[in-house]
Structure 1
Amino acid sequence: MSSSNPQITVLGLGTGDEDQLTLGVWKKLQLAAKSQAKLFLRTKDHPMVQLLDANSMPYETFDPNYMSNETFERVYESIAEELITAAKSHASEVLYAVPGHPMVAEYTVQLLKQRCPSEGIELQITGGESFLDQAFLRFGFDPIDGFQLLDATSISRYALNPQLHTVIGQVYDTYTASDLKISLMDAYPDEYKVIVGHSLGVAGQEQIIEVPLHELDHVKGYGNLSLVWVPRSEQEGPYNRTFGKLHEIVQTLRSPEGCPWDREQTHESLRKNLIEEAYEVLETIDEDDPDHMCEELGDLLLQVMLHAQMEEEIGTFSVYDVIATLNEKLIRRHPHVFGESKADDADEALVNWNAIKVEEKRKKGIDVTQQSVLDGIPRELPGLMKAMKLQKKAATVGFDWTELDDVLAKVEEELAELREAIALGAEDGAQQRRDELGDVLFSIVNVARFLKVDPEEALAQTNRKFMQRFSYIEEQLRLKGLSFEQTGLSEMEVYWQEAKKVIKLDQR
């Protein structure tokens, strides 16, 4: 390299076997020693340093930086800063030697690539054998089958793909291995076989150890030259925990080779299924049954998948568009979490949410000033829930009672009108009775709102209470060998009163 600009040349020292050091890197190191060029090593903790010592090649290391900085990120930033300063103060090029290949898991090199152009420094990178070369060789898999490289210090559950071979570097110590184990156990069974490789390719130091995943942090000897290989899975279990597998199954069910029933379904035919599955989830919440809830949430998710798959088949959108739209909306509507706004409590968060919804409507060309206050309430909501939402919306503009006594008086008024409608007789007052009964129910919802009680939940609890007490009556009759036909209302009332004393309803 001939230039008047400051120069940094990065050299890859390979994996540790001197026979694998590239000829070009070795020549560069020899020339540097003769010319007394400045040579820096990221760390002395690498087998190739023995070769440098044996040939009396002078160098400085950045090992002290690891002790003087609290995080790896700050360590690497400090190394880049010192290299840039050294390059500017030396007439000749500065050499920086790193373990392995400079472009594989070398954050300091990435920092130099970012900063050197703006600092007026020419940067040259000379490759070396990567630890991946030895991983492919010693672990014995072909990366063309599907492969990913991950960093143990920043691994994400969402990056794990059981269909790919996964090599994980930066497993520096037992603590890192323990954190890695926990992350992997989200995607793989506890007994899944993983392979630990220490100092791969380094004669006399190499170790290859196979252990079940749950023992990953029991392995001894973790250090700078340690890797973990998670072989790609040939089993259904790990892949069944992925969203991709679910998408694949639903596609298959709807395909010509799939299930005749699933192929015939439409948005309209599955309307009731969606509602029923949602209510079954609610039932598991009332039961406080996590296993049942897990199953029923899956059934509800299947309905979402089926509706999205129908649209994917005609090219309008896919379930991944659904996910992207939801992610974008959640981020956009939570600026106090993902942005710079603030919300100290739930009320403030709700104000932010509603303000953003209004802005979204404006961007879609909707004139919010022309919309009804009651807009935005789903047409198909259950009656009690819809009544509650209507009343809440009306209350936001002041259309509301101020005192609970007034609301209770309204209930009495509506009951009186219902009595009048009932007095009209079966033929004359059928429609009026229905109207007045609706008014009574609507006014009862208003009472619930003032009491801060969800009317759907209150009625659901009463339904459960009725079922438990009625089941008690049935059980008592069975014990006495009686049927309902042989039992009068007065006797059943006795059992009912007993049930009220005996059965304690779960107040969830």
Structure 2
Amino acid sequence: MNTIRVIGLGAGDLDQLPFGVYKSLKQATELYVRTADHPVLSELAQEGISWTSFDEVYEKHDAFEPVYQEIADTLIALSAQQPVMYAVPGHPLVAEQTVQHLVAAEKEGRCRLSIEGGQSFLDAIFGALRIDPIEGFQLLDGTALHSDDVNMAQHVLIAQVYDSFSASEVKLALMEKYPEDYPVTIVTAAGSAGELLKSVPLYELDRSTEVNNLTTIYVPPVEAQLDRIKEWQTFRAIIATLRGPDGCPWDREQTHESLRPYLLEEAHELLQAIDEQDDEAIAEELGDVLLQVFLHAQIGQDNGYFQLEDVLASISSKMIRRHPHVFGDVKVGGADEVVANWESIKAQEKPATASLLDGQQRFSSALETSYNYQKKAAEAGFTWPDADGAWNKFQEEWQEFQQEAAKGTKERQLDEFGDLLFTLVNIARFYGLSPEQAMIQANSKFRKRFGHVEKRVTEGTGKFSDYTLEQLDQYWNEAKALARKED
């Protein structure tokens, strides 16, 4: 196994190339380069030095990853026959994916490497932009950039922006966080005689200047935290400030218990927005629900019991454990099998309880509690074989309630009415319906139709007392007819 000798060509021109690297290139009998598009190679060509480039490999693939893998595989195959010298732009271990593939192959025993430096383009970039990396910086790959990768509080350097297409992809990713007119700097050939810096608004990034393999995009940090409102850290800091010594008196007073009604309210408002298919309202209501989550997490941190990271770790590990067909090697045949696996894994995780109904109570909703109780009992076999049994039970409870309604005490009437509601919930279960959602929809329907009645009264005398029940009922039927037309 012969050695693959990897050499860095540096970030600039021949004058910046270390003398030792220059001598090695001059003495090379067989030199391979990732790309011939580099100022050092242009100058070496004038001195009669030749090489074989892998530029043609780029034409064979639609993405960069297979290009880098093929180059590495080719070099490994060549090294089985002879020693290989391979030259790359910059430093071999900075933003050079082909070398990372070679390093991985070396760990697997498939090749042997010797890596020699060349000036990293980072040194030249820091000098050109006059920035100190100790302030915090990110080096990101422009061919695989996601907005989640970007920390707006740091100096952001985006390498591997080769052409207008990759510049456009980088622009779109950045605009998910930054304003469209945020200033960015296009740095080309940093440290060389042809060094060029051009600052443009973000939206012009892909049409302002020609970019090439010596181009790096610089995004300066957003200094004010309240201007970084699309980052999780900012929202967390806002909540911590509100709960802090100089924050809001109301927020400081809240506890897990005091916030319960607000969480319920926000959840119901989100469900309403979903029912209305209002995307803007859904986004807003999701934010209100998220506020409750962050408040509870901050209270946990303030009390010293848990913090947001514990919440994230808990739900992330749960999703991984309960999706072995995604994160493991389990095979499933469909959604029903996924649910069965979920319940099986959940049962293994939960400690044994004294009753099947333990943990099924929902303090926020008696309807949901009733539904959960009956569902658990049914899973154990305590149910009718079909909906006919539930309907018969409903008729029985209906008659008992009518009897008590006619002559019974309030306590007995309440008891029998509860039994009646309980059977209705069971009927809903047989038909796969959520009684809670049904009640939400019924309330929403009533509100809309009664709103129409109010509108008609307002258009008339403005007083409900001036109308008979028959007239009001006519307005109600108008509302029903309008709703059917909309449907």
Question: Do they fold alike, i.e. is TM over 0.5?
Answer: yes
Give per-residue Cα distances to partners, 1:104-124, cap 9 Å, x unaligned: 111222233333365486533
For 2:295 and 2:332, locate their aligned partners in 1 and report how far apart those are by CA, in whole Å.
Answer: 37
Post-superposition CA distance 1:444-477 (Å, at most 9, x none): 1222223333322332232233223333333333
1:439 to 395, 419, 427: 419
Identity %: 44
d(CA) in 1 for partners of 2:203 and 2:105?
Answer: 42
Amino acid at match of 1:228: I
Q: In structure 2, what is the Cα distance between the partners aligned to 1:44 and 1:471?
A: 73
Give deviations 1:46-66, integer Å, cap 9, x for gaps: 111123222223433333444
How far 1:72 sits from its partner (Å)? 3.3
2:17 is the alignment partner of 1:21: yes
The 1:240–1:98 alpha-carbon spacing in structure 2 relative to 1, beyond 3 Å, is same
The 5-angstrom pairing of residues 161-240 of structure 1 reads 161-204=151-194, 206-235=195-224, 239-240=228-229
Deviation at 1:298, TM superposition (A): 1.5
Q: Which residue of 2 aligns with 1:374?
A: 357
In structure 2, relative to structure 1, the CA distance for the partners of 1:75 and 1:498 (3 Å cut) is: closer
**Structure 1 residues 53 and 446, CA gap change in structure 2 (3 angstroms):** same
Letter of the aligned partner of 1:293 in structure 2? Answer: I
How far off is 1:238 after superposition? 5.1
Q: CA shift at 1:87, angstroms?
A: 3.9
Query: What residue number does 1:347 align with?
Result: 336
- Compared CA separation, residues 442 and 135, structure 1 to 2 (3 A): same
- In the TM superposition, 1:109-508 aligns within 5 A as 109-116=99-106, 119=109, 123-204=113-194, 206-235=195-224, 239-361=228-350, 366-367=351-352, 371-425=354-408, 429-481=409-461, 483-504=463-484
Question: What is the SS of the residue equivalent to 2:139?
Answer: strand
- Name the SS for the 1:168 alignment partner: strand
Please point out which of 65, 69, 79 is paired with 1:77. Answer: 69
What is the alpha-carbon distance in structure 2 between the residues aligned to residue 122 and residue 404 of structure 1?
Answer: 72
Change (3 A) 1:42 1:413: same
Deviations 1:451-504 (A, max 9, x none): 333322332232233223333333333333252344443443344344444554
Counterpart position of 1:55: 47
After superposition, what is the alpha-carbon deviation per residue over 1:9-32, rounded to whole angstroms, capped at 9, x for unaligned? Answer: 3221112311111122123334x2
Q: 1:494 to 1:272 in 2, by over 3 A?
A: same
- CA deviation string 1:359-409 (max 9, x = no partner): 223xxxx23xx6533333143141222222222222223322233333222
Give 1:69 shift: 5.7
Which secondary structure does the structure 1 equivalent of 2:358 belong to? coil
Partners of 2:72 and 2:255 in 1: CA distance: 60
TM-score normalised to the size of structure 1?
0.88
Distance in 1 between the 2:362 and 2:269 partners? Answer: 21
**Letter in structure 2 aligned against 1:496:** W
Cα distance change, pair 123–465 in 1 and its aligned pair in 2 (3 A) = closer
Which position in structure 2 is the counterpart of 1:9?
A: 5
Change (3 A) 1:403 1:352: closer
- Is 1:42 the counterpart of 2:31? The answer is no
Larger deviation, residues 412-421 vs 394-403? 394-403
Note the C-alpha offset of 1:71: 4.8
For residue 100 of structure 1, what is the amino acid of its counterpart? Answer: G
Distance 2:230 2:364 in 1: 33
Q: What SS does the corresponding residue of 1:316 show, helix, strand or coil?
A: coil
Alignment check: 8 A CA contact 1:198 1:221 kept: no
Q: CA RMSD in A?
A: 2.6
The two structures have a TM-score, normalised by structure 2, of 0.91
Q: CA deviation at 1:297?
A: 1.8
CA–CA distance in structure 1, aligned partners of residues 355 and 486 of structure 2:
41
CA positional deviation for 1:162: 0.9
Asked whether the 8 Å contact 1:13–1:129 carries over to 2, the reply is yes
User: How much does 1:277 deviate?
Assistant: 1.7
Distance 1:49 1:494, change over 3 A: closer
Matched pairs, number? 487
Aligned equivalents of 2:441, 2:343: Cα separation in 1? 31
Give unpaired runs (5+ residues) of structure 2.
none
CA distance in 1 between partners of 2:316 and 2:110 (Å):
41
My pick for the range that moved more, 20-29 or 410-419, is 20-29
Conservation of the 8 A alpha-carbon contact between 1:188 and 1:238? no
CA distance in 1, matches of 2:47, 2:254: 76
Gaps of 5+ in 1: none
